[in-house]
Amino acid sequence: MNGQKFPVMECFGPTIQGEGALAGQRSHFIRFGGCDYRCTWCDSMHAVDPDLVKLNAKWLLPNEIRQELETIQATGGHSNWVTLTGGNPVMWDLSQVVECLQDLPSPSRKANGLGWYINVETQGSEWRDWLKNVEQVTCSPKGPSSGMSDKFSWGKLDKFVKELTRSSSPSTLALKIVIFNEDDLIFAKNIHETYPHVDMYLSVGTDLSWYDYPDGGEKMRGWVGARYSWLAEEVLKDNTFYDVTVFPQLHVLMWPNEKTGR
């Protein structure tokens, strides 16, 4: 019990969630190392590259992860949410971590400012039963611009959607697709037509080259704003998208040029 350690790359917050169903809300983040994908535009390679994970991960027990959160909460402020991200956190059996973070009953957690509701961010390439025990799952299948089309599986996404949309599941599922180009939009459209009952969020992709652009904060904001206008226009042209939510990556607007959390 609680004997397994997990590779934690960073633990930070509270900050503002930049994407998906919780966009704009305060959240703490725990970033786990390891990912089965290598997306061309990944902005979290420090949690993906096995050499970097080996070099930089802190291997922590579930109760040590909770202690890290309690420390940053004591010094940085409260959030009702903690987001388990990566990498792909679903590579790991995090059931003990989830239990450890949820070990106070929800109403008491919220009323007393203790404990957290849990959001998991994953691309949906693996299913784990512990996902049914968290409050929110944000599943982000990767479109053609990621270079990961050969890894995408309708069968795996189907399993994800079926498990998390059963009436008995306490978890809420949201689908989030990062859009760089027209091919990504077609990919998102196919997914939305297949699962119209699942909330979909479209997120403007951010070109990685901006992170290295010297003093490029304002220019980066301008570029993201222009891409947001483009995506909004595209979505308005197509009635399939009548009920999707369209966002830029809010953290890029708030803190341009910063890849990792604050």
Applying CB under 6 A, the site for ligand SF4 has a residue count of 12
Planar angle of CA 90, 162, 194, nearest 5 degrees: 105
**Shortest Å distance, C-beta 89 to ligand SF4:** 10
For the record, the structure tokens of 55 come out as 């070099």
Query: 145-171 burial string, b = 16+ CB within 10 Å, else e?
Result: bbebeebbeeebbeebbebbeeeeeeb
Q: What angle do CA 32, 33, 38 make, to 5 degrees?
A: 120
CB of 193 to ligand SF4, least distance (A): 23
Considering only residues 54 through 113, tell me which ones interact with ligand SF4, judged by CB under 6 A. 86-88
* Residue from the set 42, 84, 118, 185 that interacts with ligand SF4 by CB under 6 A: 42
Q: Which is nearer to ligand SF4, 87 or 143 (CB)?
A: 87
Does the footprint of ligand SF4 cover residue 48 (CB under 6 A)?
Answer: yes
Provide, rounded to whole angstroms, the least separation between the CB of residue 87 and ligand SF4: 5
Q: Which stretch binds ligand SF4 (CB under 6 A): 8-16, 23-31, 39-47, 76-84?
A: 39-47
**Considering beta carbons, is residue 44 or 206 the nearer one to ligand SF4?**
44
CB closer to ligand SF4, 140 vs 171:
140
Please, what is the minimum distance in Å from the beta carbon of residue 203 to ligand SF4? 12
Which residues contact residue 117 at a Cβ distance below 8 angstroms, ignoring those fewer than 6 apart?
Answer: 80, 81, 82, 106, 109, 110, 135, 136
Per CB under 6 A, 162 contacts ligand SF4 = no
Between residues 13 and 86, which has the closer beta carbon with respect to ligand SF4?
86
Give the Å distances, CA to CA, from 224 to 99, 155, 227, 248, 254. Answer: 38, 33, 5, 7, 11
Give the ranges where the chain is alpha helix by DSSP (H). Answer: 50-56, 62-76, 95-101, 106-112, 154-165, 182-194, 217-237, 250-254
For ligand SF4, give the closer residue by CB, 100 or 178.
Answer: 178
Choose between 31 and 66: whose C-beta lies nearer to ligand SF4.
31
Which stretch in 23-31, 38-46, 105-113, 217-225 sits in contact with ligand SF4 by CB under 6 A? 38-46
Site membership for ligand SF4, residue 44 (CB under 6 A): yes
Query: Pick from 249, 256, 210, 254: which is nearest to 231 by CA?
Result: 249
From the list 11, 22, 30, 39, which residue makes contact with ligand SF4 (rule: CB under 6 A)? Answer: 39
Distance CA 33, CA 89 (A): 7
C-alpha atoms less than 13 angstroms from C-alpha of 74 in its C-beta half-sphere: 6
Cβ closer to ligand SF4: 240 or 260? 260
* CA dist 231 → 56, 143, 181 (Å): 36, 15, 9
- The site for ligand SF4 (CB under 6 A) is made up of 35, 37-39, 42, 44, 48, 86-88, 123, 142
